Amino acid sequence: MKQNILFGNSRRAQSNRSFWLFLLPSLSAFIIFVIVPFFTGIYYSFTNWSGLNTGNESFVGFDNYRQILSDPQFGFSFLQTATYSLLAVVIINIVAFGLALIVTQNTLMKNVYRAGFFLPNLIGGLVLGYIWQFLYNRALIVWFEPSLIAVGETSILGLSIVVTWQYAGYIMMIYIAALQNVPQDLIEAATIDGANAWQRLKAITFPLVAQAFTIALFLTLVTSFKQYDTVVSLTQSGPAMQMPVWFANLYGINPITVQSTEVITYNIYETAFVRFQLGVGQAKAILFFILIGVIGGLQVYFTQKREVEM
């Protein structure tokens, strides 16, 4: 009996050692490349570090954060990011759900359609931006003149269309998985009872795929807020436009010239690596991290609450 207990303890100890041996490489990499830079960034956000001379920075407290909150250009970049994200989330999910409904029907070549709709997601953001820059400025100029990305007031819409083309196929796969789990018996029973397609969709399909909506909305929202590479290649944060008067009044200034597609990520890049204000750039990145966490958390909370109601 005693030997069995000792043997069992030995096996558990060996299993624990194996567990930590397998975990150690990935855990070390996570600490070195994520945790350490994160807390280092928090430290630098309270300094005036330029990024050029490490060790010569001085502690400035919350001055960087106060500067950010009073910066109209950063505020405008947040406005444009929010506008773009709202457009992208709505358009992507409507298109993705519509595509999912189409390819889950008993149609010929539905697997080919699925692959075709998903294919744009495999294109990198930089390449995608250059492709659509050519399309907007050359091929589509017949329908959109001037080009959508050449006018400040429509550039956000142009960017949203590009990201929808890339990302809708990916979100479509989430909706396909959810739609395939909807019991066909319920659909057939509702059809026999005289329910039309919209009534079946509203009363049966929507409630049963509510969890997929939560996942899809969260992914599209966070991805939209983090958009950077497509902006770099498609518009380089331009074109220039006049800041809206109502927005300038919030800061008590006259309207200034701003970049129409300068989203928060691009604003952080320019602050840190163009103007060499890495302390301020780090502070912006920390605020951006908190912003995404809060918005993402609120979105998941209210969507899950809506799931229960449905």
Using the predicted structure, report yes or no on whether residue 308 has a pLDDT greater than 70. Answer: no
Average pLDDT over residues 191-220: 90
Domain of residue 111 covers 65-309
- Say how many C-beta atoms besides its own lie within 10 A of residue 94's C-beta: 12
Q: Cβ(200)–Cβ(191) under 8 Å?
A: yes
Using the predicted structure, report yes or no on whether residue 92 has a pLDDT greater than 70. Answer: yes
Cα–Cα separations (whole angstroms), residue 142 to 113, 138, 246:
28, 8, 34
pTM of the model: 0.88
Average pLDDT over residues 178-186: 90
Residue 50 included in any domain: no
Question: Which CATH number characterizes residue 128's domain?
Answer: 1.10.3720.10
Let me know whether 18 and 70 are in one domain: no
Q: What is the pLDDT of residues 264-282, one digit of tens each?
A: 999 999 999 999 999 999 9
Let me know whether 106 and 1 are in one domain: no
pLDDT at site 286: 95
Using the predicted structure, report yes or no on whether residue 300 has a pLDDT greater than 50. Answer: yes
Residue 128 included in any domain: yes
Number of domains in the chain: 2
Q: What is the pLDDT of residues 23-35, one digit of tens each?
A: 889 999 999 999 9
Residue 96 included in any domain: yes
Average pLDDT over residues 41-67: 87
Using the predicted structure, report yes or no on whether residue 110 has a pLDDT greater than 80. Answer: yes
Let me know whether 4 and 117 are in one domain: no
Q: What is the pLDDT of residues 213-223, one digit of tens each?
A: 989 999 999 99
Phi, psi of 47 (to 5 degrees): -125, 175
pLDDT at site 166: 94
pLDDT at site 6: 47
Residue 45 included in any domain: no
Average pLDDT over residues 56-75: 92
Please list, in sequence order, all residues whose beta carbon lies within 8 angstroms of the beta carbon of residue 60, skipping any fewer than 6 positions away. Answer: 46, 47, 48, 279
Let me know whether 140 and 184 are in one domain: yes
Please list, in sequence order, all residues whose beta carbon lies within 8 angstroms of the beta carbon of residue 69, skipping any fewer than 6 positions away. Answer: none
| pLDDT band at 13; cut points 50, 70, 90 | low
Q: Cβ(189)–Cβ(199) under 8 Å?
A: no
Between 14-18, 66-70, 165-169, the lowest mean confidence (pLDDT) is in 14-18
Q: What is the distance between the alpha carbons of residues 251 and 266, in angstroms, rounded to a whole number?
A: 21
| pLDDT band at 301; cut points 50, 70, 90 | confident
